[in-house]
Every structure is written in C-alpha cells, then in structure tokens.
Chains A and B, each alone.
Chain A
Amino acid sequence: QLHLQESGPGQVQPLETLSLTCTVSGDSMRSYHWGWIRQPPGKGLEWIGSIYYSGSAYYSLSLRSRLALSVDTSKSQFSLRLNSVTAADTAIYYCARGGQTAITQYAYWGQGIQVTVSS
C-alpha cells in the first residue's frame, strides 16, 4: 500500500524559505513522477511542480523563479524549497505520485500539511 507523508514547519516567516519533504513508503520511487500541489485558503488547487525519480523537474511558471524540487531515492523522499515566501504562499501543501508516463496523473496523495506564512 503506497503511503505519502508530508513533513516540515507549520509556520514560516515572510521572506524566508519554505522547505517541505515528502516521504514515500510501500513502493519504490523508481520510474514515477512525483508532484506538489497546494490549496490556499478559500481557493482551488494549484499545481506547483513535478520531479522524476531521476531528478528532472518541471515547475509552475508563476513559481519557478523561487522554487526548487529535489529527490533522494535512497531515503525515499522528495522535497520542495520555496524562497522569499509571502502571505500568498499560505496554503495546504500536498505531495502526490504521478504516473510513469502521465506525469501529473495523481492517483495517490499525502494527507497535506498546513503552512502559514506569518511573523
């Protein structure tokens, strides 16, 4: 049974860097794409980015100047770093597994982690 779990701080100071990690258990990361999606309060789902197990990544155009995705298959983890955060980055952040060819077909999701940007 595939399981994904997000971890990281629940609160980040404005202009600081948000770092989140998704730990994968129950299956190998190999051959799959791994994604991040967020939902700001009262708004819809927003696609953040995706990374292949080998490390190649795709980014949202609106976030790519502040965003970096990474993967560590030896730890079964992939991570997100978003710098210079503002209140607009306050959201529930989800990690998810994409397909082997359908990059952003997200059949499996983590429970989500609430991140608040505030001093």
Chain B
Amino acid sequence: DIRMTQSPSSLSASVGDRVTITCRASQNIYTSLNWYQHVPGKVPKLLIFAASSLRSGVPSRFSGSGSGTDFTLTITGLQPEDFATYYCQHDFIMPSSFGQGTKVEI
C-alpha cells in the first residue's frame, strides 16, 4: 500500500501570493500523480494529472512538477476562488490513495 504525505497540512496566504504544496509518496510512483481542489460544499475537481499535465479549462496559474517520490503543486498569483483544500493522489498501482490534504486559508 503506497502512502501519500502532504505538507503543510494548512497554510495562510493572501490574494496574489505564490503558494507551494508538497506531496511525498512512500515509494517510486514515477509520474502517476494527480492533484485535486476541493471547495467545501462542492465536488472535488481534478487540476493536474500525470504530475504536471494541466487539465483543460484549469487556469494556468496552477502547475505541477516532480517525479519518483516528491511532487509539488504551485499556485502562482492566488485568487479568491483558490481558497480550498488540495489533495494529491497516486494512480501508479492499485489500491490508490489520497494525501491527507492541504487547506489553503486566507
């Protein structure tokens, strides 16, 4: 079972800030890593797949990087609608698993 660990668990930021969230896998998952945004009361939204591929329709201020065991989600120029919880998830082998989440607060 592959464990996904995110850091930090929460962070405070302001509109316009650059925010970086880290995700570490317990073993090599190559680039089989997805990032989701979850706004309370809404449905989780896929932002990034295969570690660095931006899903169509997702603003370009979101970017992903990394391979192997260490990954990063970066939001460049935080917007009001970006305050949410972000999750990484591996898709390397089954069973899949999510990180514990990173809450981005004002």
Contacts and interface: CB of A to CB of B under 8 A. Distances in A.
A50 B49 CA distance: 18
Contacts of A109: 43-44
Interface of B: 1, 32, 34, 36, 38, 43-44, 46, 49-50, 55, 85, 87, 89, 91, 94-101
Tell me what chain A mostly uses at the interface: helix, strand, loop, or mixed.
loop
A58 B55 CA distance: 25
Contacts of A59: 95
Nearest to A60: B95
Given A45-B38, A45-B101, A112 B95 contact: no
A39 to B, nearest CB: 8
A47 interface: yes
A4 to B, nearest CB: 10
Interface of A: 37, 44-47, 49-50, 58-61, 94, 102-107, 109-112
A28 B98 CA distance: 27
8 contacts: A44-B98, A45-B101, A46-B98, A47-B95, A94-B43, A104-B34, A104-B89, A104-B91
Contacts of B89: 45, 47, 104
A10 to B, nearest CB: 17
